[in-house]
């Protein structure tokens, strides 16, 4: 009897040892090799997202895309790779994403000028309905109208008065966002503008300093040094309410004109992208906006406060903006 008991105990110990040495069961991977790195059980279907930016490196759109990408990877472990795809006023980038596979691996990150305005101008025959709008993860609230320090002009009223004698030469990119912005500004402020094509921000600065244009619309961060030296004068913020990060600069609305034109940035996927993925990306972007380090980078670089619109609110805002912009379609085309 004692011998049988000893054999039974030995068998139990052997089985236990074999079980301990057996390989542990590995959880099934997410579809397409994805991983669960969100912390809430979500299985990311991709490890890398290519973010198509319809602008050159170094500008405000590129900055917002790269900053969001950095914090997105930190929050999820999913890598966002930025691809700058210029040309066609943004249509090359947007059409590339529109026609891309909708597995979550390719995303558009641009502003309203590169999506809405292209539709208004006729440069593109499609708009936001051809995409899954993830969110508006950021809004440029640092855009200002700027004149030369040599002009003696310090307000919108003075600019409008000066334009009665001689048209104000406004530098923009024809058919683009700043072109539309100039058309609306001129209409609502009664300023007689001669719109000329000078190219992107760097070219506008060169032309204003050289006296070849009188007025431009640009992000404050790009000209703040010139404002400090007196080479340029800011005559108004384009936001509806003051961006306090810009200091004591009045809005154009405060000066008595019904003009405000912020520039939202749009994150969008190809049509048909999985709704759960779109919702998860939107949620992560919203959470990133609560990170004080992210907020500080926006503030330090472009004097830009954190602003966020979820998918539903983003679509509503963009649809309203498109309706407003369409009133100027004939002038823009």
196 - beta bridge partners? Answer: 171
Residue 224: per-residue pLDDT = 92
- Write the DSSP assignment of 113-159 as a string of letters: GGTHHHHHHTS-S--GGGEEEEEEEEEE--EEEEEEGGG---SHHHH
- d(CA 285, CA 223) in angstroms, rounded, equals 29
pTM of the model: 0.85
What are the residues whose beta carbons fall under 8 Å from the beta carbon of 217, sequence distance 6 or more?
143, 144, 145, 146, 172, 178, 181, 182, 185, 238
Tokens of 237: 């913020």
- CB proximity list for 318: less than 8 A, separation 6 or greater: 112, 115, 116, 128, 133, 136, 264, 266
Distance between CA atoms of residues 236 and 144, nearest Å: 6
For residue 69, what are its two tokens? 């990408």
Q: What's the CATH superfamily of 143-246?
A: Periplasmic binding protein-like II (3.40.190.10)
pLDDT of residue 46: 95
Average pLDDT over residues 94-106: 97
d(C-alpha 210, C-alpha 171), whole Å: 12
- 333 pLDDT above the threshold of 90: no
d(CA 258, CA 252): 8
In the predicted structure, residue 163 carries a pLDDT above the cut 90: yes
Do 262 and 239 contact (CB within 8 A), yes or no? Answer: yes
51 three-state secondary structure: strand
Which part of the chain is CATH 3.40.190.10?
A: 143-246
CATH classification of 44-141+263-332 is 3.90.1150.10, yes or no? no
pLDDT bracket for residue 1 (50, 70, 90): very low
CATH 3.40.190.150 domain extents, the chain = 44-141+263-332
**pLDDT tens string 132-144:** 999 999 999 999 9
pLDDT band at 77 (very low <50, low <70, confident <90, very high): very high
User: If you average pLDDT over residues 151-179, what whole number do you get?
Assistant: 96
């Amino acid at each position: 009897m004692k011998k049988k008991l000893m054999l039974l105990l030995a068998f139990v110990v052997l089985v236990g040892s074999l079980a301990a040495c057996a390989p542990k069961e590995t959880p099934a991977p997410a579809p397409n090799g994805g991983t669960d790195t969100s912390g809430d059980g979500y299985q990311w279907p991709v490890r890398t997202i290519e973010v198509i930016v319809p602008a050159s490196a170094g500008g405000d759109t590129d900055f917002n895309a790269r900053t969001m990408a950095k914090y997105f990877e930190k929050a999820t472990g999913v890598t966002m790779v930025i691809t700058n795809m210029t040309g066609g006023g943004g249509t090359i980038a947007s059409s590339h994403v529109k026609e891309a596979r909708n597995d979550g691996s390719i995303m558009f990150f641009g502003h309203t000028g590169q999506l809405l305005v292209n539709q208004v101008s006729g440069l593109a025959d499609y708009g936001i309905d051809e995409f899954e709008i993830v969110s508006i993860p950021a809004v440029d609230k640092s855009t200002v109208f700027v004149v030369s320090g040599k002009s003696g002009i310090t307000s919108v009223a003075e600019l409008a008065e000066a334009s009665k004698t001689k048209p104000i030469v406004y530098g923009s990119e024809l058919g683009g966002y700043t072109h539309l912005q100039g058309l609306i500004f001129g209409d609502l402020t009664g300023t007689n503008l001669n719109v000329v094509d000078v190219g992107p921000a760097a070219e506008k600065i060169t032309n204003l300093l050289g006296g070849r244009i009188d007025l431009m619309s640009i992000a404050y961060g790009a000209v703040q040094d010139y404002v400090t030296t007196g080479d340029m004068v800011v005559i108004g913020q384009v936001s509806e309410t003051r961006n306090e990060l810009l200091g004591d600069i009045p809005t154009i609305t405060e000066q008595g004109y019904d003009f405000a034109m912020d520039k939202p940035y749009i994150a969008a996927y190809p049509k048909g992208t999985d709704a759960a993925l779109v919702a998860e990306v939107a949620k992560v972007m919203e959470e990133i906006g609560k990170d004080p380090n992210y907020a500080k980078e926006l503030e330090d670089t472009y004097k830009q406060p954190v602003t966020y619109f979820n998918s539903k609110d983003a679509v509503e805002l963009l649809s309203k903006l498109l309706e407003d912009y369409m009133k100027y379609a004939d002038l823009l085309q």
